[in-house]
Amino acid sequence: MELWYTEKQTDAFGITAKVKQTHHTEQTEYQRLDMLETEEWGNMLTLDGMVMTTERDEFVYHEMVAHVPLFTHPNPTKVLVVGGGDGGVIREVLKHPSVETATLVEIDGKVIEFSKQYLPSIAGDLEDERVTVEVGDGFMHIAESEAVYDVIMVDSTEPVGPAVNLFTKGFYAGISNALKEDGIFVAQTDNPWFKADLIQQVFHDVKEIFPITRLYTANIPTYPSGLWTFTIGSKRHDPLEVSDQRFHEIDTKYYTKELHKASFVLPKFVRDLTE
């Protein structure tokens, strides 16, 4: 008998993949976690029925979350990742030699545990000596911590369950306080086909707090619609004005210095969300 996984985006549309086997399934304290082996995408982590990452296309998302802000900042030394328990963003962050410390605040320890077990090519660098892993709520970390960062990356689930607070203006204001005077923050902001309202709301909230606010996109086949957005809030450095000398050699499969700039060129219906 064939087994297929489907993530329903609406009542009339979903994305689907053939499943070879289920490695693990459990209801954690925060969400339902499934680790599936798929025929097309390798191992796939889903939370509450939504694809978080797959072995085959994970590099697009993780490179684009990490390298766009890190190449925009002239000297990122201290980085915070909120969410991101699969470790993919951390792996990319550590490719930047200027980074001295990378802190991961993930609310669900089970995501970290099962990513280490079934997604070792993604989670392998969580053991690096520059990395501190904190199992806790990113919203509370931002509200209570006295640490200040050069770059903060919000690699969260969609705004349901524990991630609801991570899409609020209060959270973005907290992030601004937790950034140095030339700090940069980025958040994944879902897709423009089905979540236009969310993108519009986040963009306008961030714009009220950060002098430079930009939206960029990447193509991610296993996320609904395939077209994904990221919102940047920056205090001083503009991701569109990074000089060519800033880019150093880095081992990537999606990100390039040309793509850095091209990813900010938006289709009209997406650009309209930022106006």
**Would you please indicate which residues are annotated as catalytic (active-site) residues?**
155
Q: Is 166 in the site for ligand SAM (CB under 6 A)?
A: yes
Q: Is 231 in the site for ligand SAM (CB under 6 A)?
A: no
CB of 243 to ligand SAM, least distance (A): 30
Where are any strands of DSSP class E within the chain? 3-10, 13-27, 32-38, 42-47, 50-54, 78-83, 101-106, 131-135, 149-155, 179-188, 212-219, 227-234
SS3 content of the chain, % helix, strand, coil (to 5): 35, 35, 35
What DSSP designation does 178 have? T
Q: Is 85 in the site for ligand SAM (CB under 6 A)?
A: yes
Q: Which residue has the CB atom at the shortest distance from ligand SAM?
A: 83
Strand ordering across the sheet containing 227-234: 131-135, 101-106, 78-83, 149-155, 179-188, 227-234, 212-219
Q: Where do runs of H (alpha helix) occur along 2-85?
A: 58-72
d(CA 246, CA 70): 10
Q: Is 155 in the site for ligand SAM (CB under 6 A)?
A: yes
- At 169, give phi and psi (nearest 5°): -65, -35
CB of 91 to ligand SAM, least distance (A): 12
- Binding residues for spermidine, by number, are 62, 86, 155-158
Q: Is 183 in the site for ligand SAM (CB under 6 A)?
A: no
- Select the span of 81-89, 191-199, 233-241, 256-264 touching ligand SAM (CB under 6 A): 81-89
Q: By CB under 6 A, name the one of 86, 92, 125, 205 that touches ligand SAM.
A: 86
**Cα 166 to chain centroid, rounded:** 12
Q: Is 107 in the site for ligand SAM (CB under 6 A)?
A: yes
Q: Is 61 in the site for ligand SAM (CB under 6 A)?
A: yes
Q: Is 84 in the site for ligand SAM (CB under 6 A)?
A: yes
**Interface with ligand SAM by CB under 6 A: which residues?**
30, 47, 52-53, 61, 82-86, 105-108, 111, 137-139, 155-157, 162-163, 166, 188
